[in-house]
Amino acid sequence: MAAFDLTPEQHQLVADVRRLAHEVLAPIAARGAPGQVNRELVKQLGDLGLLSRLFPGVGTRSRQAAALDLCLLREALAAGSTEAETALALQGLGTYPVLHSGSDEQTARWVPAVAIGDAVAGFALSEPDSGSDAAALSLAAEADGEGWRLTGEKTWISNAPEADFYSVFARTTPDAGSSGVTAFVVPGDRIGLTGEHLEMLSPHPIGRLVFDGVRVDHDDLLGHADQGFAVAMRTLDLFRPSVGAFAVGMAQAALEAAVDHAGSRVAFGAPLRAMQSVGHTLAEMATRTETARVMVYRAGAAYDEGRPGISTSSAMAKLVATETAQYVVDAAIQIHGAKALVRGHLLEHLYREVRAPRIYEGATEVQRSIIARDLYRGAG
């Protein structure tokens, strides 16, 4: 496959998924309760075979990830239903640590159930005082006989507090930075684990978890003790380009809405598209969106092929795509005028959705730091 284009089959996948998002998934999403897990939607993603595309080795011993497929799915879903996109993405985010680092028993228990939409996953890394600085997390895993007791708090956690299991990152060695973090898979019904929903700008299923001496043992380990930070970073390297894909999908939807509006809205005796300033703005929106799309696809392909510099290409893709989407949605609203500010308008919805990706899974400033670090490293 060329680095800057897709195969005909991949183009068809994007078209098919976008159609499903509009026709099948969006109505189910609309029936869900804002800010809560929509299990009907998750199940439909499983029934349509979209979740299983995230885990091409499901049912085998393969631990393969599918970064480019994840990007294509997220872009196509975002253009038709951001709620469906988020449901799929959160399933992958919570499950990939198990796929990559879990035991055979752990993967057999959780991954097939996620792939068919029967289990809901959560990714529990962030804490009130350690968001972007993930190595500073303080959820304590204190040794207790053959295992540990987890005590502390996680926040901004996907699908919390409703998930069936969480990939949880805790500190097993105090004052050791990233070297003292361990990853666990923790069932959602474990004694001592409680939580609550958080009301976000865009009503996604995000919440807070409280661990009150939650018992975990060696059967719950993802990988090895004190090596959990690498598990988290591997997952984030995979997901950063796909966050960019989510942003590209939203930018594409906003661009199409702006083009349609510019052709139908008459102002000062002519369609808006007759104004050079509008045409130039649309051209800029389209060019930036396509640039971001190419970078996202290239980063996804690089991950799948194991090319060097994955962290940098992923950071660049997320940085460019999320900043681009913010610009494109804002420009589309400016072209529409006040009607785009009415609650329920597509662009009003996208304006609330587009802000968060510039922060989560590494804020824009973190991506720039990753890129700069690798530039310095390359310069010796």
The catalytic residues are 361
Q: Specify the residue for token string 């507090």.
A: 161
Q: In angstroms, rounded to a whole number, what is the distance separating the alpha carbons of residues 266 and 170?
A: 58
Write the CA distances from 158 to 93, 122, 345, 374, integer angstroms.
8, 5, 26, 30
Among 346, 159, 113, 363, smallest CA distance to 252 is for: 346
Q: Which phi and psi angles does 77 have, rounded to 5°?
A: -65, -40
Angle between helices 67-80 and 8-20 in degrees, nearest 10: 40
In DSSP terms, which residues pair with 122 in a beta bridge?
A: 166
- Residue pair 104/61 in contact (Cβ under 8 Å)? The answer is yes
Q: In angstroms, rounded to a whole number, what is the distance separating the alpha carbons of residues 342 and 297?
A: 34
Angle between helices 228-264 and 276-305 in degrees, nearest 10: 150
- Residue pair 94/159 in contact (Cβ under 8 Å)? The answer is yes
Structure-block tokens of residue 126: 């962030």
Structure-block tokens of residue 252: 């594409």
Q: In angstroms, rounded to a whole number, what is the distance separating the alpha carbons of residues 114 and 92?
A: 9
Structure-block tokens of residue 91: 């399933």
Q: In angstroms, rounded to a whole number, what is the distance separating the alpha carbons of residues 154 and 74?
A: 26
Structure-block tokens of residue 21: 């998002």
Structure-block tokens of residue 293: 């799309």
In DSSP terms, which residues pair with 289 in a beta bridge?
A: none
Write the CA distances from 303 to 70, 241, 308, 370, integer angstroms.
11, 9, 9, 16
Q: Is the dihedral of CA 281, 286, 287, 291 positive or negative?
A: positive
What is the residue type of 151?
T
